[in-house]
Structure 1
Amino acid sequence: MSYRELARAVPPPFLLLGLVARLHYSITPIGTLTLLYAATGSHTFAGVATAAQSIATAAGGIGLGALADRFGPRAVGLTAATTHAVCAGALVAASGGERPAMVAAAIAMGLTQPAVGPMARVHWARLLRARGRVDLVSTALSYETVADEIGFVVGPAVAGLLTAAIGPVAPLSAVALLSAGAATPFALFYARTAPPRRPAVAARPRYGPLVAMALAAAALGAVFGSVQTGVTSYAAERAEPGGAGLLYALLAVGSSVAGIAYAWLPSRIRDTHRYAGAALGLLLGTTVLAAGSAWLPLAITVAGFSIAPYMISAYALAERLSGGRGTATTLMAVSAGGPIGTAIAQAVAGRVADAGGSAAALAVAPVAAGAALLVAVGVLVGESMGPRTGGIPMPPTRRAG
């Protein structure tokens, strides 16, 4: 394993473009929420419209993955990135009009989300397997997870600074620029560096594993949603509403550190065992978080250490379960589960926060983590049963050399 070897596998601009191009993903929801509240003065409307956008992102991601498996990433990536830029501009324009137009534009933004992170993972999987460097796939997934975490720290901060300096239209204007100026060339670069696609091979993902991994992602999204709601309530209880973002960022700090270290795990540890161990760690970490209101910043950081290993192992397992058939669809399904789980948990945690405060909202997180562990146990059982007894089929892990 070597990050240096990974960097040598592609020209440096690919890494830089991939990092910049994914910033729009974390800017979009907070930018939409800010813009629509400024336009209507209604938290309820802004929240509902943003939730609809998140659901559209999940549905659109699966559709884009299926299209990428069928037609290749170049056409799909270019179309999504350019259309997303247009839709962002349309939402800015619609904010001066009627509410139905705002909702329609918000949903259109979600449906056309380029999903740079998942598509980059598809690229790494295809490229490294084609070069016989399966040993670097885990390293690549570790890098992508850390890049995602950087995006989720930097993106909201950029949105806040732009709003303060220019106004509520600025974040989504930045999304349009990022989609056109970074995600679009990234799609072109992906097409040049990815191994040639073989159109004779039909994209037929295994739907059992696909559903399992989507549920795994939804459980993690529910952890995110409950923590977001919990820290918002915690900050409000202390009359420090601006502190919610800083507290939530600590989750990404712990996750980034663990994500970098994950690549050094011994290759002999199976994907399923890594995933199950990460799911157990997620449950333990969120339990510490739920019980640590007196030391919440430290508890959030500790809980964050379990996030990246869970994400990386889930993506790695999903990629292997796809067996090379419908890889983009499968990885998009993993990504799509997150927003759905987040939206559900935000609704549940918001209700319990109204009744019991931040501690009650944070208690939703270990419940979601427990669901994640149940999925992991199911995957382990499926592996042990094997395809002859109806379990989840597990393609053999190929080694380099």
Structure 2
Amino acid sequence: MPSSAMAPSYAAVLRTRHACRTFGAALLGRLSYGTVSLSLVLAIKETTHSYAVTGTVLALFGLTGVLLSPTRARLIDRYGPRRALLPMAAAYALLLTGLALATWRPGASGTLLGVLAVPAGACMPPLGPVMRTLWSDLVPDRRLLQRAYSLDTVAEELLFVTGPLLVGLLVQVAAPSVGVALSAALVGTGSLALVSSPVVRGWGGRDKAPAGQAPSEGPASGLPPAPLRRRLLRGGPGLRQALAVSAATGVCLGAFDLLVIAFADAHDEPAAVAWVLAALSGGSALGGLVYGAVSWRASNRLRLALLAAAMGLTLGTTGLAPHPYVLVVWAALGGLFVAPALTTAYLIADECASHATRTTAGAWVNTAFNAGSAGATAATGLLVGHLPLPVCCALVATPVVLSAATALHRPRRPAPDATALRGPAGECTSHGAGARAGGREVDAAESPDPRSESS
């Protein structure tokens, strides 16, 4: 049955031809991202007995992964998963295996670990952006795509809860380096299963560089192609809003983990940390499932602004909680808006991108979130101890509240080269999405369809 004929539901998404196989393969590979960080921390600390070396190696691994994410996505948009994703995954798995071997015995050189960590981070395959691009092919019905993205976001949230728990069980019976090796096996197996999906077989290279293309616009530059880059910088308020909210959400959540630890220490309740963070993730999963099941009439840009404001105001006042176990409830309430906000940001990015740049656009949303999270963790470490916790919580949530204002911007007049890519309200409308939805363009300002109202 064509997806367009199905009633919009999560069951309809999973009944779509090849959806379960493709999604399952992507989740298997993405579970590696939930296991690798904790495994590396434990393995490097055990072999070097140095927090400084551990922190440095993890920072190198994380930064190269975040900064080169758009480059990797751009390569996949250009050459397809079989020619780009599979070599990345193979190199990443081999380098993780090298790190596992290097940390197997005590006394590993910090320099060697750093030399292995940098290219490993650079090769990390963007399985999330690739899967979201494949969802656009699997479920061309725009109502179903909202459900698919919500399901994807919630599943990813749960993987980052399941992964550390799996590592915690594993280190009870084996060395931490086995967790690194497991991460390599997961990403290798999942990536191979993903590229063998019939959906991926028809991908091919979607973006051919025009003759005489400047080197700075090539696939290795990490920049989106010129049309997407112009919309990102000046002509795409929807995409800019998605990036702003994603980065601000990363700032808030990256800082929140550290603030919860400080809050629990101040109340002498260290065991409450796990409950608070679990409540945040549980609230996010619940909110994402409910959000995806509703057929919204408000535009995606308006919804994203409201979600950002609600998230920021809720998490910004968590520092006023009188006890860590009251904070559990507060965190769950704030989490209700996290997955819906990220789901909407991905919908907006998909709609703003052309058929040839959807993976790159989604990767930019990922990059904004991860960069915000990494920067906030470092900044929050400086704030804690110098300012009261309620003030710290309010400060880190302020960017999320302010990012809601990006929905208020409307361009006065679209540039001639961007007119065909935007609706009359200045929102992005993807030609590729319109074609996939039934061979016609849908006006972003007039259609009640949820996906057609996004960026």
CA contact (8 A) 2:99 2:113 kept: yes
C-alpha displacement of 1:147? 0.8
Query: Partner residue of 2:450?
Result: none
Q: How does 1:37-76 map to 2 (within 5 A)?
A: 37-76=45-84
CA contact (8 A) 1:349 1:364 kept: no
Q: Distance in 2 between matches of 1:230 and 1:190?
A: 45
C-alpha displacement of 1:196? 5.9
Query: Partner residue of 1:83?
Result: 91
Amino acid at match of 1:311: L
Deviations 1:128-150 (A, max 9, x none): 33xxx122111111011011111
Secondary structure, in 3 states, of the residue corresponding to 1:336?
A: helix
Q: How does 1:322-401 map to 2 (within 5 A)?
A: 322-356=353-387, 359=390, 361-373=392-404, 377-382=405-410, 385-388=412-415, 394-395=428-429, 398=434, 400=437
C-alpha displacement of 1:63? 1.0
Q: Distance in 1 between matches of 2:350 and 2:114?
A: 34
CA contact (8 A) 1:36 1:46 kept: yes
CA contact (8 A) 1:234 1:357 kept: no
Query: Partner residue of 1:206?
Result: 228
Deviations 1:153-204 (A, max 9, x none): 1011112222232122122111011012223212332754655655568755
Q: Distance in 2 between matches of 1:286 and 1:52?
A: 30
Query: Partner residue of 1:289?
Result: 318
C-alpha displacement of 1:293? 4.8
Q: Distance in 1 between matches of 2:52 and 2:271?
A: 20
Amino acid at match of 1:307: V
Alignment of 1:104 with 2:132, yes or no, is: no
Q: Which of 303, 308, 312 pairs up with 1:279?
A: 308
User: Aligned pair in 2 of structure 1 residues 21, 302: CA closer, same or farther (>3 Å)?
Assistant: same
User: Aligned pair in 2 of structure 1 residues 252, 185: CA closer, same or farther (>3 Å)?
Assistant: same
Q: How does 1:216-255 map to 2 (within 5 A)?
A: 216-237=245-266, 241=270, 243-255=272-284
Amino acid at match of 1:100: T
Q: Which runs of 5+ in 2 are unaligned?
A: 1-7, 211-224, 419-424, 439-455
Query: Partner residue of 2:445?
Result: none
Amino acid at match of 1:111: A
Query: Partner residue of 1:2?
Result: 9
Alignment of 1:121 with 2:118, yes or no, is: no
Query: Partner residue of 1:29?
Result: 37
Q: Distance in 1 between matches of 2:389 and 2:115?
A: 33
User: Aligned pair in 2 of structure 1 residues 199, 52: CA closer, same or farther (>3 Å)?
Assistant: closer
Query: Partner residue of 2:174?
Result: 166
Alignment of 1:93 with 2:101, yes or no, is: yes
CA contact (8 A) 1:258 1:308 kept: yes
Q: Distance in 2 between matches of 1:254 and 1:214?
A: 23
CA contact (8 A) 2:287 2:340 kept: yes
CA contact (8 A) 1:17 1:186 kept: yes
CA contact (8 A) 2:195 2:201 kept: no
Secondary structure, in 3 states, of the residue corresponding to 1:354?
A: coil
C-alpha displacement of 1:359? 4.6
Secondary structure, in 3 states, of the residue corresponding to 1:13?
A: helix
User: Aligned pair in 2 of structure 1 residues 237, 163: CA closer, same or farther (>3 Å)?
Assistant: farther
Q: Which of 111, 134, 143 pairs up with 1:135?
A: 143
CA contact (8 A) 1:279 1:369 kept: yes
Q: TM-score, normalised by structure 2?
A: 0.79
Q: Distance in 1 between matches of 2:121 and 2:153?
A: 21
User: Aligned pair in 2 of structure 1 residues 135, 306: CA closer, same or farther (>3 Å)?
Assistant: same
CA contact (8 A) 1:2 1:139 kept: yes
Amino acid at match of 2:406: G
Of the two, which has the highest radius of gyration? Answer: 2
Q: Distance in 1 between matches of 2:82 and 2:272?
A: 41
CA contact (8 A) 1:58 1:336 kept: yes
User: Aligned pair in 2 of structure 1 residues 106, 215: CA closer, same or farther (>3 Å)?
Assistant: farther
User: Aligned pair in 2 of structure 1 residues 351, 179: CA closer, same or farther (>3 Å)?
Assistant: same
C-alpha displacement of 1:378? 2.5
User: Aligned pair in 2 of structure 1 residues 371, 41: CA closer, same or farther (>3 Å)?
Assistant: farther
Q: Distance in 2 between matches of 1:80 and 1:170?
A: 21
Q: Distance in 1 between matches of 2:204 and 2:137?
A: 9
User: Aligned pair in 2 of structure 1 residues 115, 197: CA closer, same or farther (>3 Å)?
Assistant: closer
Greater CA drift, 320-329 or 92-101: 92-101
Query: Partner residue of 1:318?
Result: 349
CA contact (8 A) 2:317 2:390 kept: no
Identity of aligned residues (%): 23
